[in-house]
Structures are given as structure tokens and as C-alpha cells.
Amino acid sequence: MFVYNLTIKTTWAIADKWLAWQREENIPEVMATKLFDDYKIYRILEQDDHDGPTFTIQYFTSSEKKYKLYLDSFASSLRKKAFEKWGDQFIAHRTIMELVN
């Protein structure tokens, strides 16, 4: 099992609309690629949220090959859409993890 983990900090000004956009548009687009089996959205607690909340979206996939196919075929255009919609009102950090136990 591999987990594509996105940690995103938004401004308070867009937080609610950004989360709705994730649920209604962005995540469905990612899942429509058929390269991920499931996802979860979390809000990180015990974090300095003076400038805005921090969220983690985790996409679960059965193979590293599927993850790499996602990166090669879809990630760039989806990132572009996010920046076109939200500009500099968010920052994102991406990691890939492998389940070991």
C-alpha cells in the first residue's frame, strides 16, 4: 500500500470554499483517474493556525506504478487548476509513503 500525502495550508479567507472545492471537484477528479483506491481528508490539530488551517489529504493506491502514472499523466494539470483558482492563498507539500506494517 502506498499513500500519496498532500499537506496544504490555506488562508482563513478561502478555507471553507477550498474544502468544499476539494470535496466537490478536485478529489473527484483525482479519483476519476482510477489510480487511487480511496482517500481521506484530515485537519491537522495542535498546529499554529493563526494564518489559516492546515489539512492533509491522503490518497491510497496499491502500487508505486499507479502513483507514478498519476504524476506523469495528471498531477501537473490538476496542480495548475488549483493555482489558477486559489493563487497564492495556499501552500502545499507532497510526500509518498509506503505502508510497512
Cβ atoms within 10 Å of 47's Cβ, excluding its own: 10
Is the residue at 44 inside a domain?
Answer: yes
Q: Residue 84 domain-assigned?
A: no
pLDDT digit of tens for each residue in the chain (101 aa)?
Answer: 999 999 999 999 999 999 999 999 999 999 999 999 999 999 999 888 889 999 999 999 999 999 999 999 999 999 999 999 999 999 999 999 999 99
* 17 inside domain: yes
Looking at residue 36, its amino acid is: F
Whether 3 is in a domain gets the answer: yes
Give the three cell numbers for residue 58: 491522503
- Is 74 within the bounds of a domain? no
Is 10 a domain residue?
yes
User: What is the DSSP secondary-structure string of 16-81?
Assistant: HHHHHHIIIIIHHHHHHTS--SEEEEEE--SS--SS--EEEEEEEES-HHHHHHHIIIIIHHHHHH
Q: Is residue 92 part of a domain?
A: no
* DSSP 8-state assignment for residue 94: E
Residue 34: give the domain boundaries: 1-53
Residue 90 counted as domain residue: no
Quote the number of domains for the chain: 1
pTM over 0.75: yes
- The maximal CA–CA distance of the chain, rounded, in angstroms, is 39
